[in-house]
A and B are shown apart, each in its own frame.
Chain A
Amino acid sequence: MREKAADAGKKAAAKQGRDLDERLGLASAGRWMLNYIFPDHWSFMLGEIALYSFIILLLTGVYLAFFFVDSAHEIIYHGSYIPLQGVKMSEAYASTLQISFNIRAGLVIRQMHHWAALIFIGAIGIHMCRVFFTGAFRKPREINWTIGLTLMILALLNGFFGYSLPDDLISGGGLRIFYSVFESIPFVGTWAMELLYGGPYPGTAVLSHFYVIHVFILPLVILGLLSAHLAIIMRQHHSQFPGKGATETNVVGTPMWPGYMAKSGGYFFMTLAITALLGGWAQINPIWLFGPYDPIRISTFTQPDWYIGWLDGALRLWPNWETHFPGHMIANTFYPAVILPGIIFNILYAYPFLEAKLTGDKAYHNLLQRPRDVPGRTAFGAGFLAFFFVLLLGGSEDVIAVAFDTSVQSVVWTLRVGLFVIPPIVGAVTYLLCKELSAVPSAGKRRVANVIVRGADGGYSATPVELHPLEAEHHHELEPAPVGHVVMPEPEPELVTAGAVSPATAAERANRGPAPATSAASASVQSTAASDIPGVRQVSRQETPGEPAPRSGRHLFFPRRSHGNGSKGDAGSGAQDGDGAGSD
């Protein structure tokens, strides 16, 4: 009965598929999409955080846009927040108060929007680090690197514009600084800022201009570039780490359907969940405590959001220089807030091409590098990050001074010196570390682990873990370090008797590749040291040998138990059913 219904359902699905295919020709492309392979390594999901938080920004932003009023027109507040009743404020600020106190779920949505923005740009940064340090920007992916970098800059800008919209006292200070910074650009600065702000500061229309830019122009540009970013990825396919059969000409991982779709879709909801948790429980930008913006009012501890903080830090650390020409001048803010980011972003834009030029490497690369294998690049990147973090600290210098009970002056001078001293040190240390790591042949590689079991007679026995056949194919058991290199100390195994390794497993080990007995013994000793709950291990002894083990590292929350023989077949046939409709 049930099978018949399933059959009928399948037929109906096929019919619908046929209808669509006849009109749109979707089956081939659809099958291509369903079969698209995503690498399994977790670091490939960092970009997804950015993608999903952007979607959250769009969703929450649309809701907020229903209630936000982009007007600087001043009114007297008579809303429900008592400490501001009767205060003169802009309609924008009043509407943000309304969202925070009176609109259903308004505050949660507003805070989710703000947290998603912080997470969005943070995820972009970390995603960029992954791409940089593993060499994923190399040919043929230089274009996508530049698109991604542009996306990051646009995200920064849009974050700033959004941050300014509530027109509260802290963001108003940011508006003033933004004006001063870009006013300093020779020739065009003043004109451009007067157009953007609708006249000389404070301007007549700054909020409505920013609103259009924030909700319309920049999101559209970001959406377009993001689509291009993803389309190029799909065209080129993902890069991947070597190992597990990965080569330059293939992709190894999980296909879109069904595995990755479920994992990635679940990840989208997890991103939403984290954002909602922060949005409900971690108060962000409580504008009702700050009061409305007024150019004559200001507060100490005026910091921008973290992604602008490094620019603010540059402004704070830069010496008080100003350049005068006859009749003209270049203002102080021009150097740290226009020239410096200009240099930084141009270096980042040019980096893939610079590196290709320096190394003469014009080849296609689909396999990623480990950071340690390219010490020069890794050192450069680490130094660059150190530079960025010193600037970021500079943006919070007064908070640091208070927190550490020292003077702002000493913090500023420490950071000024640190800006030049710390990055080279970090770079040099990173370089040496990379060299050191790659000089140790066993560093980062894993030995086949042994399971130590205490028998009923009180003796111990060691059994090496059997590798998944796919993994075993590429696994090379670690050799002892060659003479002249680091020699690992190999203490005599005290707890493991030679006889404990059963002949059968020893034979298996031999099949997998050269595995000297000393190496196995030392591995088992390490396992002994790490295992303090032998009782749990014992369950595994009852399991029947011979079945392939799953690939390593796929469990964090679900401890593995033996599953019945039937389930494997069920799942397998299920997968066949699921795919059958698409492939026929």
Chain B
Amino acid sequence: MPASARPAIARRTRQMALPALLVMGVAAISIVLFGSTARAQGTGSAQPAAPATTVPAGTHNHALGNTGGTSYQDTELGTGSASGRQLYVQACASCHGTDAQGSARAPTLVGLGSAAVDFWIITGRMPLEVPSQQAMRKNPIFSTTQAKEIAQYVASLQVPGYVGSVPQGPSIPGPIDLSQANLAHGGELFRLNCSTCHSLTANGGALSYGAYAPSLVPDTPLEIAEAIRTGPGNMPRFSIAQLSSQDEADIIKYVKYITHPQDRGGFNLGHVGPTTEGFIGIVVGVGLLMLAAFWIGDRA
């Protein structure tokens, strides 16, 4: 055999360049895909924490994995507690006003009810860094206890000069029992009322003008219940007459299922449907087959 029969490295490099590029492309795509899946299911810990200027240290540690919906029951609080007022003044009053009457930057909170206030705080959406943008889920800066104190305080506020008591929105719901909930019925209700915005796999979706429906993956049953009843942001609110407490529990049970569903078919590709499927089909399916053809056939 002559030495010349050996392929020169330059030639081999050229031959390997296309396969290598394709392999790298596939790798990059899988990183993006699985990365985005992880983000969708993540706890939002990568989000920048809100400026915690007035918050005592040690309150960052609220666990988002709170799934039982019972932790808020740890302390029984009376209405309008002194510490609730103190926390409100420190963290909320600059925008919502000292008496929660609202300002040019933020709406009034009077009459909103404790459930709404609790939802915004325990999901970390409040306090908001930039009031103009849609509040994102973050690590909450208040503990559940503190959030409840603030919520109770806000719910106790009255409009000065208003005769009688202001009608209040829903208050923080009691413990949610999912053991009797009907998963299939919850699915029917979810597909009628929720999936239009949050998508069938509760991954969230786009709304108009840059708004979006968030992913429900990190949400606890308590948060879901509060959101259903108070309709935070662009979400419609559902009354008891429309969705009974049983319906609510059914929906929550389904959401807890569908955010971690039975993926019998393998990797879930982010649960966003045909967009990623087409991508994988072309890049991995056809791509690998082109690599195989590249190996079998001549490349000159």
Contact = CB atoms under 8 A, between A and B. Distances in A.
A and B touch in the complex (CB under 8 A): yes
Interface of A: 40-46, 48-49, 81-87, 100-101, 107, 111, 115, 118-119, 122-123, 126, 169-170, 243-244, 263, 266-267, 270-271, 274-275, 278, 280-286, 288-291, 294, 296-307, 309, 396, 398-399, 401-403, 406-410, 446, 449-451, 453, 463-467, 505, 526-527, 530-533, 537, 539-541, 543-547, 549-557, 560, 562-563
B276 to A, nearest CB: 9
Given A545-B3, A552-B7, 12 more contacts: A83-B184, A100-B264, A107-B264, A119-B285, A282-B269, A282-B284, A285-B277, A300-B198, A306-B277, A399-B272, A407-B206, A453-B3
Contact of B293 (A107, A267, A463, A544): A267
B264 A283 contact: yes
B161 interface: no
B178 interface: no
B10 A526 contact: yes
B289 A402 contact: no
Interface residues of B, number: 81
Interface in B1-32: 1-11, 13-16, 19
Contacts of B196: 298-300
Contacts of B288: 274
A286 to B, nearest CB: 6
Contacts of B14: 446
B162 interface: no
A82 to B, nearest CB: 6
A543 B3 contact: yes
B191 A286 contact: no
A451 B206 contact: no
Nearest to A119: B285
Nearest to B262: A288
Contacts of B258: 83, 289
Given A101-B264, A309-B274, A465 B296 contact: no
25 contacts: A42-B296, A48-B293, A81-B262, A122-B281, A122-B282, A169-B195, A281-B266, A281-B267, A282-B284, A283-B269, A284-B277, A286-B265, A291-B187, A297-B195, A300-B197, A304-B274, A409-B208, A410-B210, A466-B4, A530-B13, A540-B1, A544-B1, A545-B4, A552-B7, A560-B7
A355 B185 CA distance: 61
Listed from nearest, the 5 A-B pairs whose CB atoms lie closest are A306-B278, A42-B297, A449-B8, A466-B4, A543-B1
Given A408-B208, A554-B298, A465 B7 contact: yes
Contacts of A300: 195-199, 205-206, 213
B26 to A, nearest CB: 12
A450 B261 CA distance: 58
A298 B257 CA distance: 19
A554 B297 CA distance: 8
